[in-house]
Amino acid sequence: MNRPSKRTTRTGLLAGLWVAAAAGALLLGLTAVGQIGSGLAGGDPVPPMAAEEVEASLARHAADPAQAPAAPSPAPQSPASQPAPAAEPSPTGVVPAGRAGSVLARCEGDVPRVVSVNPAQGFEREDDDDLAPGQVLLDGDDLDVRVTLSCANGTPSGEVTTVVED
């Protein structure tokens, strides 16, 4: 009868330990993934809300300011040192720049201000000192796009001019 050698026994034992460790790690990982979102700290899990429920909850809190957490009242100031009430921010608008991207702008009176520029893939904003404050230049490989912003009744709009490069 053949008896297994010590080497064969050791190899089998190591393989068995490796399989047991892998199974334990798999079980631990599956348990951890199963706990995600189910109240890791215990207690009842909070189910996600539907869009209608979110809107109803927001409307309920907006209508009943007593439910809102009270902010600490600031120290009293003399009437001369109180800041003027902040003007309501002017609305922003997205001005499309064709296939070059878009410009987010706001009107301050009749003056257009660039809030951000979102160039499309293959275009970049050109920082040109010759541009007027209400102009944006988007530079592409074969095409340049100039957006000239204007304001009409507090709403930003733009005129798009394209120049094909040689």
**Averaged pLDDT in 10-residue chunks for the chain of 166 residues:** 77 94 94 72 68 83 58 52 57 87 90 90 86 88 91 89 84
What pLDDT was estimated at residue 48? 78
Residue 6 tokens read as: 């010590």
What pLDDT was estimated at residue 121? 92
Rounded CA-CA distance 136/20 in Å is 64
Rounded CA-CA distance 140/100 in Å is 8
Rounded CA-CA distance 9/2 in Å is 13
What pLDDT was estimated at residue 54? 83
Residue 101 to residues 13, 30, 127, Cα–Cα distance (Å)? 63, 44, 16
What pLDDT was estimated at residue 152? 86
Assign 60 to helix, strand or coil: helix
* Nearest C-alpha neighbor of 103 from the set 92, 88, 111: 92
The model's pTM is 0.46
What pLDDT was estimated at residue 26? 95
Task: Look up residue 1 and give its DSSP letter.
Answer: -
